[in-house]
Chains A and B, each alone.
Chain A
């Protein structure tokens, strides 16, 4: 292949490659330069290098940062969750207490009504037909002694 004349091979193949003389020369020199560099590098003895170790410092920093971030976020979420749960329990307890108080109040009202009914029944006046018998009773008997 003609290294100095890239146009020689591509002639007639593609329009964009119709190169001006300066560009053609530059591309030829570019190829020569890459060839020379490559030949020099491929024949050089390769240095034995220690295997590239992973950058553990950076990895550790990232891992630590992620752990701290995750810890902060999760502890915040956990605290919030705990508070919400406590608030729910407290609300349930108050609601239960109120229900109990309400039930007690209703029961008390019912009892008072019952007692009032009994009192009214007991306190009924003796019918007039029994008045003569009532007058026969001594004061002591009347008092139940």
Chain B
């Protein structure tokens, strides 16, 4: 009876974790892959894996960092498997950069301002497209998920210095796209 109650508590706890962190995990995977179906599948896999290992989560890092680490690893595995299965026809559902740039809330901007903003967002997407896997991950964690360097280091398993170096290179590329000097 007591065991059943403890399990119920754990289940409820996990449900609340899913409810609060699912949008963030999905957003990161969507930005990384630009593929809605793939992002949904990887998000589900992430929470499935988290559920299986929930008992082993000791709370050394935040649940978000732990989940993000699982998501990053799943994403890596996905691309690695994709590379190994070279005989499969490459069928990706990733939306093109222009379409990804369309999702910009109009706010209080004029049509012209919206057009300009859309162009700039497209430029950022183009830069992100050309980043290495690690640079992209670090860049998105920093500028989309707004994680600090320590959190990024914990989520990616890299040292803080390495994170900083990747971030610097990624920003360099974005700056070049914008014609800025470093």
Contacts and interface: CB of A to CB of B under 8 A. Distances in A.
Contacts of B149: 13-14
A20 B22 CA distance: 33
Interface centre among B31, B100, B172 (most CB of A within 10 A): B31
Judged by DSSP, the binding face of B is: helix
Nearest to B39: A41
A62 B167 contact: no
B89 interface: yes
Contact of A17 (B22, B88, B171, B180): B171
B146 A6 contact: yes
A58 B89 contact: yes
Contacts of B120: 22, 25-26, 29-30
A42 B167 CA distance: 28
B121 A38 contact: no
Contacts, number: 106
Helix, strand, loop or mixed for chain A's interface?
A: helix
Interface in A32-52: 32-42, 46, 49
A112 to B, nearest CB: 79
A23 B174 contact: yes
B103 A36 contact: yes
A62 B100 contact: no
B134 interface: no
Question: Ordered nearest first, which 8 A-B pairs have the shortest CB separation?
Answer: A37-B103, A16-B168, A38-B27, A26-B120, A30-B124, A36-B103, A33-B104, A29-B117
Interface of B: 22-23, 26-27, 30-31, 36-37, 39-40, 87-89, 100-101, 103-105, 117, 120-121, 123-125, 142-144, 146, 148-149, 164, 167-168, 171-172, 174-175, 178, 180, 182
9 contacts: A14-B164, A16-B171, A23-B174, A26-B120, A27-B174, A34-B144, A37-B103, A41-B26, A42-B26
Interface of A: 1, 6, 9-10, 13-14, 16-17, 19-20, 22-23, 25-27, 29-42, 46, 49, 54-55, 58-59, 62
